[in-house]
Chains A and B, each alone.
Chain A
Amino acid sequence: MKSTFHLLIVDDNPADVSLVEEALKVSAYAGSCQSVGDGVEAMAYLSRRGSFAQAPKPDLVLLDLNLPKRDGLTVLAAMKAGPEWRRIPVVIFSTSRLGRDVARSYELGANCYVSKPGNLSEYFAAVKAIEQFWFGPVTLPPQGEEQ
Chain B
Amino acid sequence: MSSFAVQPALDQSAQVKTRLSALLVEDNQLDAELELRALRQGGFEVKARIVQDEAAFRKALKEPPEIVLADYNLPSWTGVEALHILRQEGLDIPLILVSGALGDVTAVECIKRGVTDYVLKDGLARLPQAIRRALEEQHERQLLRQAEQGLARKAAELARSNADLEQFAYVASHDLQEPLRMVATYTQLLAERYRGRLDENADKFIAYACEGAERMQVLIRDLLAFSRVGRKENESASVDCNAVMREVVQGLAVAIQQSKATVTFGSLPEVWGDRTQMAQVFQNLVGNALKFHSAQAPTVSVQAEENEKEWTFSVADNGIGIAPEHAEQIFTVFHRLHARTEYPGNGIGLAICKKIVERYGGRIWVESEAGAGATFRFTLPRESRPAAEA
| B-binding residues in A (CB < 8 A) | 13, 15-16, 19, 22, 95, 116, 118-121, 123
Contact = CB atoms under 8 A, between A and B. Distances in A.
B185 interface: yes
A22 B192 CA distance: 12
Contacts of A120: 184-185, 188-189, 192
Residues of B in contact with A, size category? 10 to 19
A20 to B, nearest CB: 11
B232 to A, nearest CB: 15
A37 to B, nearest CB: 15
Nearest to B186: A15
Q: Give the 8 A-B residue pairs with the shortest CB-CB distance, closest first.
A: A120-B188, A120-B185, A15-B182, A118-B181, A118-B217, A120-B189, A123-B185, A119-B184
B223 to A, nearest CB: 15
The main secondary structure of chain B at its interface with chain A is: helix
A21 B46 CA distance: 93
B178 A95 contact: yes
B181 A116 contact: yes
Given A95-B177, A95-B181, A119 B214 contact: yes
Interface of B: 177-178, 180-182, 184-186, 188-189, 192, 214, 217
Contacts of A19: 185-186, 189
Nearest to A66: B178
B185 A119 contact: yes
A94 to B, nearest CB: 11
A10 to B, nearest CB: 17
Nearest to B188: A120
A12 to B, nearest CB: 11
Contacts of A119: 184-185, 188, 214, 217
Nearest to B182: A15
Contacts of A22: 189
Contact of B184 (A13, A16, A95, A118): A118
B77 to A, nearest CB: 65
Nearest to A22: B189
Nearest to B214: A119
A116 to B, nearest CB: 7
Contacts of A95: 177-178, 181
16 contacts: A15-B186, A16-B182, A19-B185, A19-B189, A22-B189, A95-B178, A116-B181, A118-B177, A118-B217, A119-B184, A119-B214, A119-B217, A120-B185, A120-B188, A120-B189, A121-B188
A9 to B, nearest CB: 16
B186 to A, nearest CB: 7
Given A16-B182, A120-B184, A120-B192, 11 more contacts: A15-B182, A19-B186, A22-B189, A95-B177, A95-B181, A118-B181, A118-B184, A119-B184, A119-B214, A120-B185, A123-B185
**Residue among A16, A19, A95, A119 with max Cβ neighbours from chain B (10 Å):** A119
Contacts of A121: 188
A103 to B, nearest CB: 15
A110 B178 CA distance: 23
A47 to B, nearest CB: 29
